[in-house]
Amino acid sequence: GDSVTQMEGPVTLSEEAFLTINCTYTATGYPSLFWYVQYPGEGLQLLLKATKADDKGSNKGFEATYRKETTSFHLEKGSVQVSDSAVYFCVWYSGSARQLTFGSGTQLTVLP
């Protein structure tokens, strides 16, 4: 069935390190893809999105490119900060089902 698979955590990095969190999806058709972020004690917030193949979403130094050929939407950031410590969810939207499908989340901790 339809699903999202993302890199398991937790991930611990030093400040200014490069971040990659892998995400692949299995879906019929071409869903819209999102990364949501959950800071400690808060609800989820949209980080970035891409609605069609080869689109690149970007926000706050994070980027992800919608790769149809590899069904992937990997999240990257060139230089992480302590304030980026959070849980990151890869999510896709099925227009037919009008629902979001969530990956299991990746806990990121950035150390000073």
Partner 1 sequence: NAGVTQTPKFRILKIGQSMTLQCAQDMNHNYMYWYRQDPGMGLKLIYYSVGAGITDKGEVPNGYNVSRSTTEDFPLRLELAAPSQTSVYFCASRGLSETQYFGPGTRLLVL
CB of 1 or CB of 112, closer to partner 1: 1
Select from 21-29, 55-63, 72-80, 103-111 the region that touches partner 1 (CB under 8 A): 103-111
For residue 34, report the phi and psi dihedrals to the nearest 5 degrees: -140, 155
Residue 101: C-alpha distances to residues 16, 89, 107 (Å): 31, 10, 18
Q: Tell me: does residue 22 bind partner 1 (CB under 8 A).
A: no
According to CB under 8 A, which residues from 59 to 88 bind partner 1?
none
Is residue 106 a contact partner of residue 88, using CB atoms and an 8 Å limit? yes
Residue 97: C-alpha distances to residues 32, 56, 85, 94 (Å): 12, 24, 32, 5
Q: Tell me: does residue 51 bind partner 1 (CB under 8 A).
A: yes
Q: Tell me: does residue 105 bind partner 1 (CB under 8 A).
A: yes
Question: Environment class of residue 45 by beta-carbon count within 10 Å: exposed (0-12), middle (13-18) or buried (19+)?
Answer: exposed
Select from 16-24, 34-42, 57-65, 74-82 the region that touches partner 1 (CB under 8 A): 34-42
Return the residue of 19, 44, 75, 108 that touches partner 1, per CB under 8 A. 44
Residues that bind partner 1 (CB under 8 A): 4, 32, 34, 41-46, 49, 51, 89, 93, 95, 98-100, 102-105
